[in-house]
Chain A
Amino acid sequence: MNFTIILFILLAVLLIGALVWAIRPPKRKLVSVNDVLTALSEERHYSRLPQILQALRPEDTAFLRARGFVLLRRRIRSERGRIALLYLDCLQEEYEKLLEASRVVAAMAPELVALDEAERFKLNLRFALGCRYLRWKLRLGLEPWRGFGLLSEMTSGMALRLEVATSQIGERAALSFAVSSIVKERDRGTR
């Protein structure tokens, strides 16, 4: 059979598959403008990251093995894995809330910055894949970092970038009030 014909048929079947996926009603609930503002001002989970990272380090429990408490060490590590999973849930929840907020903002915008939207889409894909991967590793009791020997170490540069980003967020927190006032004004106008 001609390759071109197969390509056409394959493409049509793929489009039908994508249609079936896209036509399903979305699972997530739509959020209001107020929810966006809450998402922007809520407490973050970032502050707990150092403890979680510390707890996941094998050296943190290595002394137990050295002293012969292998079972205890295993139990502690599994407990810590469970806690890491809970942390991951919180992280994902926060991520999804922010993503939802960004969609609400996009729907309100008179013009979208295509690059911002594309970056968000890319970040979303990366986060979803990374999250799924990490979750499965933790669930299976595997140490997620074992397979990452080639991955670069966490550098002080990254920590610095995080610091800068966090401070930028603080500076921009005031913006949410501006949105709030616009919405209120509009609400008053329509009443």
Chain B
Amino acid sequence: MSETLSLRNLEWALTTITELFLLVYLLRRKLFRSHALFFAYILAVTLQSILLAATYRIWGSQSYRAWLIAWLSQLVMEAARLAAVTEVVRRVLSPFSGIWALGRRVLFVAAGSVLVYAALLSREYWFKLPLNVDRAMGLAVAAVLVTLLLFARYYGLPMDNLDRSLCLGFCLYSCFCVINDSLYDKWLLGYLNFWNFLGVLTFLASLFLWLGAVRAYSETAPACDPVVVPKELYGELSSELNIRLRLLNEHLNQLLHSGAQR
């Protein structure tokens, strides 16, 4: 137990140092302007670490106050994480107005359905509200990011390495949060320290990923604005392309069915 505790303290220290490094790099690369909400998120996480360290020192980690402060600050972190993810989504999709208009609706529906799903499945555990909120948000964030990546892949949208790393880091962290919360819910009630250790470890992995991407970030030439065609023209072209695609599908069907007409 004490070994886990000292390891956890070491992990916390390492996480806080990495967060500070990341903040410094974000400032040095002037990314706090283009990635303002991500910068705010990392800043908030650092402040949360300091707040929790002070709380545990004053009231002890097992006190009700510490529990309350930890979960309330965690709710703030959830909001900050969601805001940072929204910023990434906006940055990737918004240069393409048509895709952005469709994409934000799809992403909103994806996030909404996951939240409703998580709420419905968690209703019998209402007394574990903070844990359920953490899990639902984790699932929603992961669903949004995976949908975003699939969208970007489908439409071949450009995405720089930093945004890709942010998606990867947030998504992996969120998925592990869901797994961690679920396991904790069932099995690990007696192993709070170990659960905390795993949670911080996955966040540390994401921090390293982001740090690497921010360090490697270089200001490239600004991409030229995408060409925009009038809406009517898009409608015409789009339906023409769909007709052609349907035509090819029907050709394939003819090939598949060819032997049947005898």
Specify which of B146, B178, B237, B243 is in contact with A9 (CB 8 Å cutoff).
Answer: B178
Q: Chain A contact residues: over half helix, strand or loop, or mixed?
A: helix
Q: Are B245 and A112 in contact (CB under 8 A)?
A: no
List the one stretch of B25-33, B49-57, B147-155, B193-201 in contact with chain A: B147-155
In this complex, what residue of A is CB-closest to B238? A116
Among the listed stretches B16-24, B64-72, B179-187, B214-222, which one makes contact with chain A, having 4 or more residues with CB under 8 Å of it?
B179-187
Number of residues on chain B facing chain A (CB within 8 A): 76
> What total of chain A residues lie within 8 Å of the partner, measured CB to CB?
90
Interface set, chain B 205-262, CB cutoff 8 A to A? 224, 226-231, 233-262
Chain A residues with Cβ below 8 Å from B138 are: 12
Known: A95-B245, A145-B259. A5 touches B238 (CB 8 A): no
Cβ-neighbour of A151 out of B143, B154, B257 (below 8 A): B257
A18 to B150: give the CA distance in the assembly, Å.
Answer: 8
Chain B residues within an 8 Å CB radius of A9: 178-179, 182-183
Does B101 count as interface, using CB distance less than 8 angstroms?
Answer: yes
- Known contacts A109-B238, A169-B244; 13 additional CB pairs below 8 A are A13-B175, A15-B171, A19-B168, A98-B244, A104-B156, A106-B99, A108-B226, A108-B227, A109-B98, A116-B238, A123-B249, A172-B240, A182-B230
What are 17 A-B residue pairs whose CB atoms fall within 8 Å in the complex? A5-B183, A33-B227, A49-B251, A49-B254, A56-B255, A58-B259, A98-B241, A103-B154, A107-B155, A107-B156, A109-B228, A109-B238, A123-B246, A133-B256, A144-B258, A162-B247, A175-B236
